[in-house]
C-alpha cells in the first residue's frame, strides 16, 4: 500500500462540492475519457444486476443513471450534497440518496449488491467502510470495490509526482485482506483496466486505438477490483 497527501473527510466534501460542475468534463470530456466510462459501465453491468443496489460514492451519478435505467432499486450515498443533487437529477428523481460518510453507513441486511467504484482509495477508514457494506447486504449479497493499484509503475510515477492524486494505492492482496477482516468471502479479483486512465483522457483521437490494443499487453494493471460475498 502507498499513499499520497491523504485528504480529511471535510476536505474531500469541500473539494467535491467545488468541482461538481466540471467533474464529468475533466474525466469524461474527451474521446478517451468516454471510452473509459464505457468500459467501466460494461464491467459493472457484467457483475451488478438490476436489483436492490447501494452505491458508496455516487459522484455525479453515472452508475446511478445506468442502474436505474436497468430497473434497479438504487440507493446512493456521498459526502457531497452537490454531487447527490446532480445524481438525483440525472436519475430523473428515481434514486434514494443520503449524505453520509462511507465509514458510518448504518444499513442492515437490505441490499443485494453494494458497489464502490473509484472511491475506495479515498476512504480514510476502509475496513470500517467494508464492515458497513457487509452489514448492508443480505446473506449471499455481493460487494464490488475498485481501486487504484500499487505496483512498480505506480511507485515510479509517485516518486516523480506524475499523474498522482490525494489517495491510497493498493495491491489486490491489501484489499482482499480488508474484505476478509470485514467478514466477506472473496469471490473474484483482478483488473478493470490496465492502461492508466490519465493516458486515455489525454490521448489524441487518432492514437486511441493504440491504447486499446495495449490493454491486452500492458504489464501493470492500474485499476483493479475485488468482489466479495456475504
pLDDT in tens, 31-62: 999 999 999 999 999 999 889 999 999 999 99
Helix (H) or strand (E) holding 148: strand 137-148
In 3-state terms, what secondary structure has residue 203?
Answer: coil
Report the alpha-carbon distance of residue 227 to residue 18 in Å, rounded: 32
Q: How far apart are CA 198 and CA 107, in angstroms?
A: 35
Q: What is the dihedral of CA 1, 197, 42, 38, to 10 degrees?
A: 160
pTM above 0.75, yes or no: yes
Contact 167, 12 (CB under 8 A): no
Rounded Cα gap, residues 148 and 118, in angstroms = 7
Strand partners, 2: 169
Q: Of the candidates 151, 156, 186, 188, which has an alpha carbon nearest to the alpha carbon of residue 171?
A: 151
User: pLDDT per position in the chain (230 positions), as tens?
Assistant: 777 677 888 988 999 999 999 999 999 999 999 999 999 999 999 999 889 999 999 999 999 999 999 999 999 999 999 999 999 999 999 999 999 999 999 999 899 999 999 999 999 999 999 999 999 999 999 999 999 999 888 888 777 777 667 889 999 999 999 999 999 999 999 999 999 898 899 999 999 999 999 998 889 899 999 999 99
Report phi then psi at 142, rounded to 5: -120, 145
220 alpha-carbon distance from chain centroid: 19
Angle (CA) 93-81-59 rounded to 5° is 75
| Cβ pair 53, 142 in contact under 8 A | no
- The C-alpha atoms of residue 78 and residue 139 are separated, in whole angstroms, by 24
Q: Show the cell assigned to 65.
A: 443513471
Percent of the chain as helix, strand, coil, to the nearest 5:
45, 25, 30
53: its cell numbers: 443496489
Structural domains in the chain, sorted by start: 2-229 (3.40.50.150)
Neighbouring-strand partners of residue 27: none
Cβ-contact 199, 34 below 8 angstroms: no
Q: What are the φ/ψ torsions at residue 57 (nearest 5 degrees)?
A: 95, 75
Amino acid at each position: 500500500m502507498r499513499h499520497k497527501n491523504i485528504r480529511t473527510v471535510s476536505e474531500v466534501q469541500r473539494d467535491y462540492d467545488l468541482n461538481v460542475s466540471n467533474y464529468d468534463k475533466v474525466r469524461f470530456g474527451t474521446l478517451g475519457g468516454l471510452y473509459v466510462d464505457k468500459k467501466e459501465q460494461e464491467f459493472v453491468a457484467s457483475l451488478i444486476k438490476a436489483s436492490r443496489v447501494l452505491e458508496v460514492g455516487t459522484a455525479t451519478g453515472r452508475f446511478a443513471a445506468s442502474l436505474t435505467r436497468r430497473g434497479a432499486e438504487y440507493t446512493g450515498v456521498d459526502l457531497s450534497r452537490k454531487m447527490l443533487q446532480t445524481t438525483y437529477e440525472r436519475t430523473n428523481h428515481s434514486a434514494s440518496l443520503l449524505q453520509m460518510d462511507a465509514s458510518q453507513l448504518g444499513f442492515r441486511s437490505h441490499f443485494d449488491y453494494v458497489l464502490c467504484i473509484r472511491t475506495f482509495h479515498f476512504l480514510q477508514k476502509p475496513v470500517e467502510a467494508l464492515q458497513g457494506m457487509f452489514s448492508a447486504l443480505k446473506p449471499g449479497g455481493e460487494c464490488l470495490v475498485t481501486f487504484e493499484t500499487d505496483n512498480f509503475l505506480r511507485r515510479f510515477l509517485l516518486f516523480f509526482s506524475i499523474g498522482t492524486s490525494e489517495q491510497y494505492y493498493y495491491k489486490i492482496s491489501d484489499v482482499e485482506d480488508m474484505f476478509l477482516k470485514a467478514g466477506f468471502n472473496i469471490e473474484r479479483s483482478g483488473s478493470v483496466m490496465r492502461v492508466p486512465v490519465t493516458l486515455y483522457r489525454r490521448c489524441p483521437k487518432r492514437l486511441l486505438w493504440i491504447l486499446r490494443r495495449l490493454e491486452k499487453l500492458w504489464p501493470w494493471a492500474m485499476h483493479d477490483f475485488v468482489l466479495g460475498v456475504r
